[in-house]
Chains A and B, each alone.
Chain A
Amino acid sequence: MLSFLFGRQTGLDDPLRLKQAESTRRVLCLELNPDRNVERIHGNGINTIDIEVIEGRYMLSGGADGVVVIYDLENHSRNLQYTCKAVCTVGRSSRHVHKFSVETVQWYPHDTGMFTSSSFDKTMKVWDTETLKATSFYFCCLLLLYNCTVHSVPLNHLHCLSSVGTKNPKVQLCDLKSGSCIQVLQGHRGEVLSVRWSPRYEHILATASTDSSVRLWDVRRASGSLFTLNQFNEDLSKSSSEAANTAHNGRVNGLCFTSDGLFLLTTGTDDRMRLWETATGANTLVNYGKVVNESRKGLKFAVSRGCSPDFAFVPCGSSVAVYAVHSGKLVTMLRGHYSNVDCCVFHPDYQELYSGGKDSNILAWVPTPRTPDTEEEQGSKKGGSQAALNPAFEDAWSSDED
């Protein structure tokens, strides 16, 4: 740390380096923080969470009970102990609430005044944050919605498109301005479970489907997908058997671009995770080992931002597995949930991770503060200092055990 600071001071290092090193360190020491709580609003499992990118202050969560909640993550109380308050809630009593489970929530990329949500009640709603009413238009999809995404690239001021993957194999692009479907992307032969916009190129869209294929699209080209990812890196695109291009051996239910948009991570129900180059569609053949994935719905996982080796946070049963993206090494398992974890989101500013699970908890994983480097003290008085911190940490041996 000191050497980095020195390097930064003397100008020997790239300014980014210190930041990367520190954020990597912080990510590596993520753990469940007893001081950070998130208020329990949801009575059921939490399907999706999203943190807005403008301030990084508000978090949206959508639950299986159809409730959507906005939390304030910022701690202004000057206390270590902090419970993230629910700023506003679209509860069951609200007129506009989703009837069924909310599958995705997403902030509007440019503004916290608006967010979208999609649900199993076959609707995608666009909400006004101020009034918490579904704004006058909402897109009514007649099909069961599996996933919808408003593209979340702040660079892109040009189009406000949201792509909707549904039970129907066709991917629809909706214009938020009019609320109408402006384009249909055809090519998949199964339900589309996950859709992501590339953070690097505003027109590139990746879709994952139950037909175990992953397609990349350029939305400007209506004729078809750019290419289909092939797990064996075979060059089949020329031949007619494009159908044989599979990314996984099971359903593909998770998609995530790395922060720079150069790589794409996919997870499938074959308990594998794969890393692809978005430029060529080649499988990088990174081996992550077994990534348990039993979800029948889309899986929302996250990739860290601003770390020198990037990390992927993948829900894995009742824990969150942290993988090094490029080496495929399992860094750690974050255990804290008591039931399946459905989603997790990375807070890029504070290197915090929020995860939501079926046990209706949103857990905040916060980097542990650096302990004082004075080693001799650390060794001997650790228990004592802890005990001083909290009386519950004391040992309570009765004298007759001697």
Chain B
Amino acid sequence: MYCTAGHIGSRVSGVSWMDHAERERLSALVEELTTSGEPQLNPAKMKDVKKICKSSNDYIDHFYHLIMTQLAQEHAEIRFSALQMVSELFSRSHHFRMLLVSNFQGFLELTVETDPEQPLPPPREVARKLKILAIRLVQEWQSTYGQAYKKLALGYHFLKQVKKVDFHDVQARTQAERKRQEEKQKRLERLYKDKVTKATQEMEESSQEIQDCLTEMDSCLKLLKPPPMEFHLGDLEQTATTQTVQPAAPEHHGKTAGSSIDEEQPCCSKNLGNTLDADEDEEEEDSDMEEVAEEEAFIRHTGLISHKYSLDLDLSEGLNVKESDENEAVVNTMRDLHRLISTKHLPAVRSWVQVFTKAGVDQQLLRRALDLRTSLEVALQRHDELHIEYKKRERRVLKAASEGEEDEDDDDFEEVPEKEGFEPHIPDHLRAEYGLEPLTSSSLSSAPSSLPDHPKRSKRTVNEEEQDPTCAAATLRLLRDRFSSAELGSTGGSHGETTEVQSDERKKAPVIPFGLDLYYWGEDQPTAGKIIRSASQHQFWVPHEVEEEVENKELSAQAKSRFITFSGSFQPVKHKCKAPMPNGSLCERQDRVKCPFHGPIIPRDELGQPTNPEDAARLEQERMRRQEEQPDWRDPELMRDIEAATGEDLGSSKTFGKGKKGSKGKGKKRKYPNLTDLNQKANTSRSRLEKKVFDKSSMRRVTDAMNQLDKRKHEKFANQFNYALN
């Protein structure tokens, strides 16, 4: 008897112990699952939870309380996971449904944000997902269980009627959001409308102009290339001397490879020749060449190569129209028109089309715009087909310019050959312009020889410049003259050697324009740069301290030194960084010394590997070092920011958060490392600026400066009593 009672007691205690353990396990599971931060629940763990909950309603009670506490956490990810668990259990257990529905208001507040004073916690992206999921779940539950659970139905209606949640809207937007969207739409529509009216107006205005332009283009094209109907084959000249297509020369003699075509030949037979194959034609030509000797007499008589001949015309590749004196005006107009169309009309028309298609206006306008566009494009295409060569004209213009002749063209500007950047030899007459010292006489003499291009011109300009007394060249010449005369005078002197040295030095000495420093050269200047203030002239009113002399540092420095503005020529960088990039290419940056991304520029081979071994070693070392510390773009804080913003898991916390903590060795370890950190401050430009601006030291500096300013004002007027008082 006693024994059995004890046995029962132990069993009961065993059950309660089991129960406790299970509860603990359930709590741990719920916490793990909700703080995982994952978008999906771990199915294995969830299965465990369900297994525990299935065994008894008590566990469901416990689970319900756990879940409600987790739902109340100020973290959207926790709430999201908890909501997923709720949805799992809700469909399974009536008891859980009862519990949840009894506090459905609270549930909605925590998940659907029904209370405007209790917004969903950050991160925002997850909160949005949470809301959408919650609304979807409520709808599902309502359709399945709405009849049985009154409060569920009430809650559904509350969402639908009062909160105006549109359950069919995927975005789960509330009415306010929808309204905002509508307003935006309306604004856009208004904008489009404005644009459309503007574009229509523009089109009305400029369509005439475009039409004119098109007809002009068309007639130009006709002039340059007659339409196929007007073609007479005889008009074409196939010789190399042909420069233009002569449209209106019907009685001109066509010549093909030295043979003349009979003009009276009917057109149709010539057209027949077009159909012949190219091979055949070649063969024939060969045979013609062989027969030349034998049939020479015949040819001479008839002027034909053979009795049967063919003419091959290749019109497919288009025409090459070259600009010549005859068609210059037409080509010029053509070019202007082309430019007008391609830069002005076509973009305009394209933008209209874009506006019309976007705004969805009536077909009429759109069709008109499209017609305009196609006709413009056709015109451009036809222009391109002509292959007009403008080159010749440009060359001619150039020649004219270099010869110094009057340009017939209305171009006002001389076209100069483009400079190839760095000039290894600066022409002498330009040296002054460049701010360089003129070359010594030896280099002067060598310069023209190295520059055969401009012998005449440079000499002439130098002479011209020397005439100009304001020019440095004139001074140079003057000096040179003087030196030469001095040399001449001193050659006979006893100090031959010294003068020689002197003259050598003089040759080396730079010639600079006259300045204050030269004026005071070698002198000690007692007064230079000093401003002497006369004492106050007033009988009584004396400023309380009068410095008789104020030394102006700037002025005295000016008297002793000289500014030489260096304006060297720009030397373009020829080399490239060529460091290998992650996408497989080489760095294309052309920095002079150091690439901002890849450090000092070192010689590298085709694959981007450094050629010098020591460079390679250094780079390797650097790479190792960088690998040790975190690469800055994978800064966990930044990544967490991005994750918070996008709601996607970049794996910041998993891979890098730990590593960083390890390396830094400071900072409390977060309780749930998988969740997005909310306490962490947003690393925005504003916060960074704030950090700088409201820094203690900078604040102090600013206050000091401002105090100084204030004090200075007081000092300035200190001896005036009304200022001194305040």
Contacts and interface: CB of A to CB of B under 8 A. Distances in A.
Contacts of B51: 401-402
Contacts of B54: 397, 401-402
Contacts of B634: none
Interface string B135-159: 0000000001101111100110110
A394 B148 CA distance: 11
A395 interface: yes
Interface string B90-117: 0111110000001111001000001000
A338 B102 contact: no
16 contacts: A34-B148, A34-B150, A336-B154, A337-B105, A338-B108, A338-B114, A338-B158, A338-B162, A359-B154, A359-B158, A359-B161, A387-B94, A390-B147, A395-B92, A395-B94, A398-B92
A336 B151 CA distance: 6
Contacts of A386: 94
Contacts of B114: 338
Residue of A337, A339, A386, A401 with highest tally of chain B CB at under 10 A: A401
Contacts of B147: 390, 392
Contact of A394 (B94, B104, B158): B94
The 10 closest A-B pairs by CB, nearest first: A392-B148, A338-B158, A34-B150, A401-B50, A390-B148, A392-B145, A393-B94, A359-B158, A397-B54, A401-B51
Contact of B154 (A363, A400, A402): A363
A133 to B, nearest CB: 29
A210 B284 CA distance: 119
B47 interface: yes
Contacts of B95: 395
A59 to B, nearest CB: 18
A360 B92 contact: no
Interface string A345-366: 0000000000000111101000
* Main SS class of interface, A: loop
Interface string A28-51: 000011100000100100000000
A335 B103 contact: yes
A390 B148 CA distance: 7
Given A390-B147, A397-B50, A401-B54, A361 B154 contact: yes
Interface string B156-196: 01100110000000000000000000000000000000000
A395 to B, nearest CB: 5
Contacts of B47: 400-401
A309 interface: no
* Main SS class of interface, B: helix
Interface of B: 47, 50-51, 54, 91-95, 102-105, 108, 114, 144-145, 147-151, 154-155, 157-158, 161-162
Interface residues of A, number: 30
A396 interface: yes
A318 B154 CA distance: 13
A360 B161 CA distance: 8
Interface string A290-321: 00000000000000000000000000001000
Interface string A368-402: 00000000000000010011001011111110111
Contacts of A358: 162
A32 B93 contact: no
A33 B92 contact: no
A361 B157 contact: yes
Residue of A338, A390, A395, A396 with highest tally of chain B CB at under 10 A: A338
B46 to A, nearest CB: 10
A339 B163 CA distance: 10
Given A393-B94, A396-B91, A397-B92, A360 B144 contact: no
Given A395-B92, A397-B54, A397-B93, 20 more contacts: A32-B150, A34-B148, A335-B102, A338-B104, A338-B108, A338-B114, A338-B154, A338-B162, A360-B162, A361-B157, A383-B94, A392-B94, A392-B144, A392-B149, A393-B148, A396-B91, A396-B92, A396-B93, A397-B50, A401-B50
Contacts of A401: 47, 50-51, 54
A392 B147 CA distance: 8
B161 A34 contact: no
A398 B88 CA distance: 11
Contacts of A34: 148-150
A263 B90 CA distance: 47
B158 A361 contact: yes
Nearest to A398: B92
Contacts of B103: 335
B145 to A, nearest CB: 5
A375 B162 CA distance: 43
A318 B149 contact: no
Contact of A339 (B102, B144, B149, B162): B162
A398 B93 CA distance: 11
A395 B90 CA distance: 9
B105 A318 contact: yes
Nearest to A400: B47
Contact of A338 (B92, B145, B149, B155): B155
Contacts of B158: 338-339, 359, 361
A158 B157 CA distance: 46
A335 B162 CA distance: 18
Nearest to B108: A338
A234 B105 CA distance: 43
A184 to B, nearest CB: 40
Contacts of B161: 40, 43, 359-360
A336 B145 CA distance: 17
Contacts of A335: 102-103, 105
Contacts of A32: 150-151
Nearest to B50: A401
A235 to B, nearest CB: 43
